[in-house]
Protein backbone atom coordinates (compact mmCIF):
# COMPACT_ATOMS: atom_id res chain seq x y z
CA UNK A 1 0.00 0.00 0.00
CA UNK A 2 1.24 3.44 -0.86
CA UNK A 3 0.77 4.85 2.59
CA UNK A 4 2.70 2.03 4.18
CA UNK A 5 5.54 2.45 1.69
CA UNK A 6 5.80 6.15 2.47
CA UNK A 7 5.55 5.64 6.19
CA UNK A 8 9.24 5.39 7.03
CA UNK A 9 9.76 8.72 5.32
CA UNK A 10 6.98 10.29 7.39
CA UNK A 11 8.45 8.80 10.52
CA UNK A 12 11.93 10.01 9.56
CA UNK A 13 10.59 13.53 9.05
CA UNK A 14 8.81 13.42 12.41
CA UNK A 15 11.99 12.16 14.05
CA UNK A 16 14.09 14.95 12.57
CA UNK A 17 11.59 17.58 13.69
CA UNK A 18 11.26 15.99 17.11
CA UNK A 19 14.99 15.74 17.76
CA UNK A 20 15.45 19.39 16.83
CA UNK A 21 13.33 20.38 19.84
CA UNK A 22 14.81 20.90 23.30
CA UNK A 23 14.34 18.12 25.84
CA UNK A 24 10.91 18.10 27.42
CA UNK A 25 11.90 16.35 30.60
CA UNK A 26 12.58 19.39 32.76
CA UNK A 27 9.96 21.74 31.43
CA UNK A 28 6.89 19.70 30.63
CA UNK A 29 6.92 16.39 32.44
CA UNK A 30 4.08 15.79 34.86
CA UNK A 31 3.97 12.91 37.27
CA UNK A 32 0.43 12.79 38.68
CA UNK A 33 -0.74 9.41 39.90
CA UNK A 34 -3.54 8.18 42.16
CA UNK A 35 -5.27 4.94 43.17
CA UNK A 36 -7.90 5.21 40.44
CA UNK A 37 -5.22 4.98 37.72
CA UNK A 38 -4.80 1.63 36.03
CA UNK A 39 -8.40 0.46 36.43
CA UNK A 40 -9.21 1.31 32.83
CA UNK A 41 -6.12 -0.52 31.57
CA UNK A 42 -7.12 -3.53 33.67
CA UNK A 43 -10.62 -3.57 32.20
CA UNK A 44 -9.25 -3.44 28.63
CA UNK A 45 -6.98 -6.38 29.42
CA UNK A 46 -9.89 -8.31 30.95
CA UNK A 47 -12.52 -7.55 28.31
CA UNK A 48 -10.52 -7.17 25.08
CA UNK A 49 -7.11 -8.79 25.47
CA UNK A 50 -7.63 -11.92 27.57
CA UNK A 51 -10.35 -13.36 25.28
CA UNK A 52 -7.72 -13.42 22.48
CA UNK A 53 -5.31 -15.53 24.52
CA UNK A 54 -6.48 -19.12 24.48
CA UNK A 55 -3.30 -21.03 25.21
CA UNK A 56 -2.95 -20.03 28.86
CA UNK A 57 0.35 -18.18 28.35
CA UNK A 58 1.08 -15.12 30.52
CA UNK A 59 -0.37 -11.88 29.16
CA UNK A 60 2.51 -9.65 28.11
CA UNK A 61 1.84 -6.03 29.14
CA UNK A 62 3.72 -2.79 28.75
CA UNK A 63 3.00 0.40 30.66
CA UNK A 64 4.45 3.58 29.20
CA UNK A 65 4.56 6.56 31.58
CA UNK A 66 4.36 5.37 35.18
CA UNK A 67 3.62 8.47 37.27
CA UNK A 68 5.13 9.29 40.63
CA UNK A 69 3.22 11.85 42.67
CA UNK A 70 0.01 11.46 44.62
CA UNK A 71 -0.59 14.65 46.60
CA UNK A 72 2.39 15.17 48.93
CA UNK A 73 3.66 11.58 48.54
CA UNK A 74 5.82 9.96 45.88
CA UNK A 75 3.66 7.02 44.93
CA UNK A 76 3.08 5.37 41.53
CA UNK A 77 -0.16 3.38 41.13
CA UNK A 78 -0.92 2.19 37.60
CA UNK A 79 1.38 -0.88 37.52
CA UNK A 80 0.18 -2.04 40.95
CA UNK A 81 -3.50 -1.62 40.10
CA UNK A 82 -3.08 -3.56 36.83
CA UNK A 83 -1.16 -6.29 38.66
CA UNK A 84 -3.77 -6.52 41.44
CA UNK A 85 -6.53 -6.92 38.87
CA UNK A 86 -4.68 -9.68 37.02
CA UNK A 87 -3.79 -11.43 40.25
CA UNK A 88 -7.45 -11.30 41.27
CA UNK A 89 -8.43 -12.90 37.95
CA UNK A 90 -5.81 -15.60 38.45
CA UNK A 91 -4.06 -14.52 35.23
CA UNK A 92 -0.30 -14.80 34.93
CA UNK A 93 1.48 -11.83 33.38
CA UNK A 94 4.76 -10.23 32.37
CA UNK A 95 5.16 -6.47 32.57
CA UNK A 96 7.55 -3.97 31.00
CA UNK A 97 7.61 -0.48 32.49
CA UNK A 98 8.91 2.46 30.46
CA UNK A 99 9.44 6.02 31.62
CA UNK A 100 11.47 8.95 30.38
CA UNK A 101 12.50 9.66 33.96
CA UNK A 102 14.35 7.05 36.07
CA UNK A 103 12.67 8.19 39.32
CA UNK A 104 9.31 6.37 38.96
CA UNK A 105 11.12 3.20 37.84
CA UNK A 106 13.59 3.31 40.71
CA UNK A 107 10.70 3.78 43.09
CA UNK A 108 8.98 0.66 41.80
CA UNK A 109 12.20 -1.36 41.82
CA UNK A 110 12.89 -0.58 45.45
CA UNK A 111 9.57 -0.13 47.30
CA UNK A 112 7.38 -2.88 48.68
CA UNK A 113 4.71 -0.69 50.27
CA UNK A 114 2.11 1.67 48.90
CA UNK A 115 0.98 4.83 50.67
CA UNK A 116 -1.94 7.22 50.42
CA UNK A 117 -2.37 10.36 52.53
CA UNK A 118 -5.67 10.79 54.31
CA UNK A 119 -5.22 14.42 53.31
CA UNK A 120 -5.49 13.48 49.61
CA UNK A 121 -8.70 11.51 50.26
CA UNK A 122 -10.21 14.54 51.99
CA UNK A 123 -9.60 16.53 48.84
CA UNK A 124 -10.66 13.84 46.40
CA UNK A 125 -12.90 11.10 47.89
CA UNK A 126 -12.58 8.99 44.73
CA UNK A 127 -9.03 8.21 45.89
CA UNK A 128 -10.54 6.30 48.84
CA UNK A 129 -12.71 4.27 46.46
CA UNK A 130 -9.69 3.37 44.33
CA UNK A 131 -7.69 2.48 47.43
CA UNK A 132 -10.46 0.23 48.84
CA UNK A 133 -10.80 -1.47 45.48
CA UNK A 134 -7.06 -2.13 45.40
CA UNK A 135 -7.11 -3.65 48.90
CA UNK A 136 -9.93 -5.97 47.89
CA UNK A 137 -8.30 -7.06 44.63
CA UNK A 138 -4.81 -7.60 46.05
CA UNK A 139 -6.24 -9.13 49.24
CA UNK A 140 -3.97 -7.03 51.39
CA UNK A 141 -4.60 -5.29 54.70
CA UNK A 142 -3.84 -1.69 55.54
CA UNK A 143 -2.57 0.25 58.51
CA UNK A 144 -2.48 3.93 59.26
CA UNK A 145 0.89 5.41 60.12
CA UNK A 146 1.50 8.66 61.97
CA UNK A 147 5.25 8.93 61.58
CA UNK A 148 7.93 8.56 58.93
CA UNK A 149 8.79 4.98 57.90
CA UNK A 150 11.65 3.81 55.68
CA UNK A 151 9.55 3.19 52.58
CA UNK A 152 7.59 6.44 52.69
CA UNK A 153 8.89 9.13 50.34
CA UNK A 154 7.43 12.60 50.68
CA UNK A 155 7.77 14.96 47.75
CA UNK A 156 10.55 17.48 48.06
CA UNK A 157 8.88 19.72 45.48
CA UNK A 158 5.47 19.84 47.16
CA UNK A 159 4.45 23.23 48.39
CA UNK A 160 4.05 22.37 52.08
CA UNK A 161 2.98 25.14 54.42
CA UNK A 162 4.95 25.18 57.70
CA UNK A 163 2.53 22.99 59.66
CA UNK A 164 1.46 20.83 56.71
CA UNK A 165 3.76 17.91 57.53
CA UNK A 166 2.52 17.77 61.13
CA UNK A 167 -1.06 17.76 59.94
CA UNK A 168 -0.25 15.11 57.33
CA UNK A 169 1.01 12.69 59.96
CA UNK A 170 -1.62 13.67 62.52
CA UNK A 171 -4.40 12.85 60.04
CA UNK A 172 -2.54 9.70 59.05
CA UNK A 173 -1.15 8.00 55.99
CA UNK A 174 -2.58 4.69 54.80
CA UNK A 175 0.00 2.01 54.11
CA UNK A 176 -0.40 -1.35 52.40
CA UNK A 177 1.66 -3.87 50.40
CA UNK A 178 2.32 -4.15 46.69
CA UNK A 179 0.60 -7.17 45.06
CA UNK A 180 2.15 -10.52 46.00
CA UNK A 181 2.72 -11.51 42.36
CA UNK A 182 4.28 -8.12 41.62
CA UNK A 183 6.85 -8.69 44.37
CA UNK A 184 7.61 -12.17 43.00
CA UNK A 185 8.01 -10.86 39.47
CA UNK A 186 10.30 -8.05 40.60
CA UNK A 187 12.52 -10.78 42.02
CA UNK A 188 12.35 -13.24 39.11
CA UNK A 189 12.71 -10.62 36.34
CA UNK A 190 9.22 -10.94 34.86
CA UNK A 191 8.84 -7.24 35.52
CA UNK A 192 11.39 -5.30 33.51
CA UNK A 193 12.31 -1.64 33.22
CA UNK A 194 13.38 0.76 30.52
CA UNK A 195 14.33 4.39 30.97
CA UNK A 196 13.61 6.16 27.71
CA UNK A 197 11.53 8.60 25.76
CA UNK A 198 8.83 6.55 24.06
CA UNK A 199 9.12 8.83 21.02
CA UNK A 200 12.67 7.63 20.42
CA UNK A 201 12.71 4.20 22.10
CA UNK A 202 12.47 1.03 20.03
CA UNK A 203 9.62 -0.43 22.11
CA UNK A 204 9.39 -3.52 19.89
CA UNK A 205 12.90 -4.56 20.97
CA UNK A 206 11.51 -4.89 24.51
CA UNK A 207 8.78 -7.36 23.71
CA UNK A 208 5.91 -8.51 21.62
CA UNK A 209 3.05 -7.09 23.67
CA UNK A 210 -0.53 -8.22 24.02
CA UNK A 211 -1.29 -4.90 25.63
CA UNK A 212 0.30 -1.45 25.87
CA UNK A 213 -1.07 1.27 28.15
CA UNK A 214 -0.09 4.86 27.48
CA UNK A 215 -2.37 6.90 29.69
CA UNK A 216 -2.02 10.53 30.74
CA UNK A 217 1.26 10.93 28.91
CA UNK A 218 0.86 11.68 25.20
CA UNK A 219 -0.29 15.22 25.89
CA UNK A 220 3.24 16.01 27.08
CA UNK A 221 4.65 15.39 23.61
CA UNK A 222 4.44 17.70 20.60
CA UNK A 223 2.55 16.39 17.59
CA UNK A 224 5.55 14.76 15.90
CA UNK A 225 6.55 13.20 19.23
CA UNK A 226 3.08 11.70 19.55
CA UNK A 227 3.38 10.37 16.01
CA UNK A 228 6.71 8.71 16.80
CA UNK A 229 5.46 7.40 20.14
CA UNK A 230 2.42 5.79 18.56
CA UNK A 231 4.55 4.34 15.78
CA UNK A 232 7.00 2.86 18.27
CA UNK A 233 4.28 1.40 20.46
CA UNK A 234 2.27 -0.02 17.58
CA UNK A 235 5.38 -1.79 16.27
CA UNK A 236 5.54 -3.59 19.59
CA UNK A 237 1.97 -4.95 19.52
CA UNK A 238 1.63 -8.66 19.02
CA UNK A 239 -0.03 -9.63 15.74
CA UNK A 240 -2.95 -9.98 15.19
CA UNK A 241 -4.69 -8.93 18.40
CA UNK A 242 -2.27 -6.67 20.31
CA UNK A 243 -4.15 -3.72 21.77
CA UNK A 244 -3.07 -0.31 22.95
CA UNK A 245 -4.95 2.05 25.26
CA UNK A 246 -4.27 5.77 24.91
CA UNK A 247 -6.02 8.91 26.07
CA UNK A 248 -6.41 12.53 25.27
CA UNK A 249 -6.02 14.26 28.61
CA UNK A 250 -8.78 16.28 30.19
CA UNK A 251 -11.27 17.53 27.70
CA UNK A 252 -11.53 21.30 27.74
CA UNK A 253 -8.16 22.06 29.28
CA UNK A 254 -6.16 23.86 26.65
CA UNK A 255 -2.74 22.52 27.62
CA UNK A 256 -3.91 18.92 27.46
CA UNK A 257 -6.21 19.29 24.48
CA UNK A 258 -4.72 17.51 21.50
CA UNK A 259 -6.36 16.34 18.29
CA UNK A 260 -4.92 12.90 18.79
CA UNK A 261 -8.09 11.04 19.49
CA UNK A 262 -10.43 13.18 17.55
CA UNK A 263 -12.44 10.97 15.27
CA UNK A 264 -13.05 13.94 13.05
CA UNK A 265 -9.69 15.45 12.27
CA UNK A 266 -6.10 15.80 13.21
CA UNK A 267 -3.35 13.70 11.78
CA UNK A 268 -4.52 10.49 13.43
CA UNK A 269 -8.00 10.22 12.04
CA UNK A 270 -9.28 6.63 11.65
CA UNK A 271 -8.35 6.40 7.97
CA UNK A 272 -4.80 7.46 8.62
CA UNK A 273 -4.59 5.12 11.58
CA UNK A 274 -5.90 2.12 9.72
CA UNK A 275 -3.77 2.72 6.64
CA UNK A 276 -0.57 3.91 8.17
CA UNK A 277 -0.47 1.68 11.15
CA UNK A 278 -2.40 -1.38 10.01
CA UNK A 279 -4.44 -0.68 13.08
CA UNK A 280 -7.93 0.26 14.03
CA UNK A 281 -8.67 3.27 16.19
CA UNK A 282 -11.85 3.32 18.20
CA UNK A 283 -13.16 5.21 21.15
CA UNK A 284 -13.15 3.16 24.26
CA UNK A 285 -14.92 5.00 27.07
CA UNK A 286 -16.24 8.31 25.94
CA UNK A 287 -18.05 8.84 29.21
CA UNK A 288 -15.14 8.24 31.52
CA UNK A 289 -13.14 11.02 33.16
CA UNK A 290 -10.73 10.93 30.23
CA UNK A 291 -11.48 10.51 26.58
CA UNK A 292 -9.72 7.27 25.74
CA UNK A 293 -9.27 5.11 22.70
CA UNK A 294 -8.01 1.72 21.67
CA UNK A 295 -5.69 0.94 18.84
CA UNK A 296 -5.97 -2.69 17.95
CA UNK A 297 -3.51 -4.34 15.63
CA UNK A 298 -5.59 -5.93 12.94
CA UNK A 299 -3.01 -7.32 10.53
C1 LIG B 1 1.00 12.02 34.49
S2 LIG B 1 2.07 10.61 34.68
C3 LIG B 1 0.87 9.36 34.25
C4 LIG B 1 1.20 8.00 34.78
C5 LIG B 1 0.24 6.87 34.56
N6 LIG B 1 0.21 6.40 33.19
C7 LIG B 1 -1.13 7.20 35.05
O8 LIG B 1 -2.06 7.34 34.24
O9 LIG B 1 -1.28 7.34 36.26
C10 LIG B 1 3.07 10.68 33.22
C11 LIG B 1 4.31 9.83 33.24
O12 LIG B 1 4.81 9.75 31.92
C13 LIG B 1 6.22 9.93 31.93
N14 LIG B 1 6.59 10.48 30.61
C15 LIG B 1 6.38 11.74 30.16
N16 LIG B 1 6.81 11.88 28.91
C17 LIG B 1 7.30 10.67 28.53
C18 LIG B 1 7.90 10.18 27.34
N19 LIG B 1 8.05 10.96 26.27
N20 LIG B 1 8.30 8.88 27.30
C21 LIG B 1 8.12 8.08 28.39
N22 LIG B 1 7.56 8.50 29.54
C23 LIG B 1 7.15 9.77 29.62
C24 LIG B 1 6.46 10.86 33.11
O25 LIG B 1 7.79 10.79 33.59
C26 LIG B 1 5.43 10.37 34.11
O27 LIG B 1 5.94 9.34 34.92
In tens, the pLDDT along 231-278 reads 889 889 998 889 999 876 554 444 444 444 444 334 454 554 555 555
Q: Does domain 2-246 have CATH number 1.20.1250.20?
A: no
Residue-wise pLDDT for 189-218, tens only, equals 999 999 999 999 999 999 999 999 999 888
28-62: pLDDT as tens digits = 678 999 999 999 999 999 999 999 999 989 999 99
Separation of CA 100 and ligand 1 centre (Å): 7
Query: How many other C-beta atoms can be found within 10 angstroms of the C-beta atom of residue 113?
Result: 16
Domain chopping of the chain, boundaries: 2-246
Return the closest-CA partner of residue 295 out of 198, 214, 196.
Answer: 214
Angstrom distance (rounded) from CA 37 to CA 81: 7
Closest Cα to atom 13 of ligand 1: 65
**Ligand 1 center to 67 CA (angstroms):** 5
Residue 296 confidence (pLDDT) above 70:
yes
Cβ atoms within 10 Å, residue 149? 10
* pLDDT score for 280: 61
Q: In this predicted structure, what is the pLDDT of residue 13?
A: 79
**What's the average model confidence in pLDDT over 3-11?**
57
Ligand 1 atom nearest to 68, measured from its CA: 27
Amino acid sequence: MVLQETLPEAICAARTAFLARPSLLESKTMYASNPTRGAEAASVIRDIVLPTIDDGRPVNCCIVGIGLNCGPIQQPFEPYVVAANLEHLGVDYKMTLIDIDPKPLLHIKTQSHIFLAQNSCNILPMYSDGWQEYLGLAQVGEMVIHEQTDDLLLRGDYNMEPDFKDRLFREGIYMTSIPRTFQEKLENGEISFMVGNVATTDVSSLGDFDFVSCMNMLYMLPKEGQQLALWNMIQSLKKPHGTMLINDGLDGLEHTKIPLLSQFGGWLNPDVASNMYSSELRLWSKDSFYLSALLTRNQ
